[in-house]
Structure 1
Amino acid sequence: MEEREILTNQVLFIAVVILSNIVQVLTGFAGTMLAMPASMQLIGINEAKAVLNAGSIILVTTVAIQNYKYINKKEATKITVLMLLGMGVGVYLLQIMPTGILLNIYAYFVIFISLKKMFIKNELHLSNLIMILIVFLAGIVHGMFVSGGSLLVIYAVTALKDKDEFRATLAVIWAILSSILFTTHIQQGFFTPEVWTLTLITTFTVFLSVKIGNKLHDKINQQTFLKIVYVLLFLSGLLLIL
């Protein structure tokens, strides 16, 4: 790849990061998920995973600190523990099971839930046990595919009723999970000098994304917020299939 093409791809990647980070700040999820497909094509799979995750840590930590008073600490603790337990199971399953079929099942399930939320107003009341199981499954999926956020949101939109509480609580959870993933990426050797440089550059764009995302978040009401969340859920399912 020529030097000019590499530079162009890196500039495009930074633009993708800014846009996806704005979405992450606005809703509390989906930033990395939306950025990953284009980022993998622009700078490579492992490089994209490393840079996006590292930038996410700074982004979600900033959101969590700014919105500390809205964090549901009880839910944040419960979700984090269940997700971590599930991630351990997911990492193990990834080593012993074919993943293609499982990923497609997960993707179609997310699409089904998002369409139901958008077009069917009757709420399905699930037991506490099933809701806990959903979070645990989100951890398993996250351990296998680093894409458990979509399943977690299915639980979060029920447990966290207010848009500020939703965003702040998820920000804390992602800060913890992304930090764990960051150490794993270092151990796997993803952080070459080029990746560290790109990470540093994208870090400077985080604060721009936070400013824009916060302004958009303040302007939308609860119903609009939920509609955006459900649309992002639907897009996440499509991206998983593709």
Structure 2
Amino acid sequence: MLAELATSPWLLLGAFILLAYTTEAMTGFGSIVIALSLGALVLPIEAMLPVLVPLNIVMTGFLAWRLRGHADRDALLRLILPAMTAGTAAGYLLHPWLGDAALKTLFGLLIVWFAARELWRSVRAPLPAARGRVWTQGWTLAAGVTHGLFASGGPLLVYALSGARLDKARFRATLIVVWFTLNSLLTAAFLVDGSLWPALPRVAAYLPLLPVGVILGEVLHRRVDEAGFRRAVFAVLLAAGLALAWPY
């Protein structure tokens, strides 16, 4: 397995995972989105998901336990988890009907929208408007579908909750509980469909990158301008999304 990882493209995925978790530790967002969007340039999405999702459980599980007191249980149980769980199940069931080319195009469009929106917000920084419950739940359901397809419901869920009145600490803790819960369900689904067992050696091989990424992220958080770093990451994601959406 180490010999396989030492050859492209799995070596590149390791570099993308390190970048993803460094960014997550520094800015608080995007471990799977970054690794999957860059990795999809060189590997099939369905081959990476059984690797990236269990890796994410390790970090989110620790953080979910550590921040459990800050999570908004009412928002989780009444607003977020029911719609996200239903959407994730729908996305997971839809996944086999889509070929890799269609998956890459859809994922690329999602990343283009997400990166362009975040770059625009970094310049304009508009105040979020209050949203109705139906609007929020509709976008939350859509976020669940993208999570079932790509384990990347974050962009749409953050958009869905943009008008919610959650302070920074509760918002972060609530999202972490969502990712831990849904990624645990996806990992169980990968176990049932047989895709998890072949991926476990790669998961084990990439595990040491997580603490390295956390340490690098902490160092960069203290020494590098976070706003500039985020803009640079979003610019890379925008280019990757364009390449995935229009591969030819």
Q: TM-score, normalised by structure 2?
A: 0.72
Query: One-letter code of the match for 1:15?
Result: A
After TM superposition, give the deviation of residue 140 of structure 1 in Å.
Answer: 2.3
Q: Tell me if 1:154 matches 2:154.
A: no
Q: Secondary structure at the match of 1:29?
A: coil
Q: Tell me if 1:132 matches 2:132.
A: no
Identify if the C-alpha distance between structure 1 residues 74 and 213 changes in structure 2 by more than 3 Å, giving closer, same or farther: farther
Identify if the C-alpha distance between structure 1 residues 87 and 168 changes in structure 2 by more than 3 Å, giving closer, same or farther: same
Count of residues in Structure 1 that have an aligned counterpart in Structure 2: 236
Would the aligned equivalents of 2:91 and 2:144 in 1 still touch at CA under 8 Å?
yes
1:142 aligned partner: 147
Q: Distance in 1 between matches of 2:98 and 2:16?
A: 33
Identify if the C-alpha distance between structure 1 residues 96 and 126 changes in structure 2 by more than 3 Å, giving closer, same or farther: farther
Mapping of residues 140-219 of structure 1, within 5 Å:
140-159=145-164, 162-193=167-198, 195-214=199-218
2:122 aligned partner: 118
- Deviates further, 161-170 or 125-134: 161-170
Would the aligned equivalents of 2:21 and 2:210 in 1 still touch at CA under 8 Å?
yes
Q: TM-score, normalised by structure 1?
A: 0.74
Unpaired runs of at least 5, structure 2: none
1:21 aligned partner: 21
Q: Supply the RMSD in Å over aligned alpha carbons.
A: 3.8
Query: One-letter code of the match for 1:26?
Result: M
- Deviates further, 229-238 or 14-23: 229-238
Q: Distance in 1 between matches of 2:11 and 2:149?
A: 30
After TM superposition, give the deviation of residue 80 of structure 1 in Å.
Answer: 1.9
Unpaired runs of at least 5, structure 1: none
Q: Distance in 1 between matches of 2:143 and 2:231?
A: 17
After TM superposition, give the deviation of residue 103 of structure 1 in Å.
Answer: 5.6
Query: One-letter code of the match for 1:80?
Result: L
Identity of aligned residues (%): 22
2:87 aligned partner: 86
Deviations 1:124-180 (CA, angstroms, capped at 9, x unpaired) = 524223223221221122234433211112234543654443332221111111111
Q: Tell me if 1:51 matches 2:51.
A: yes
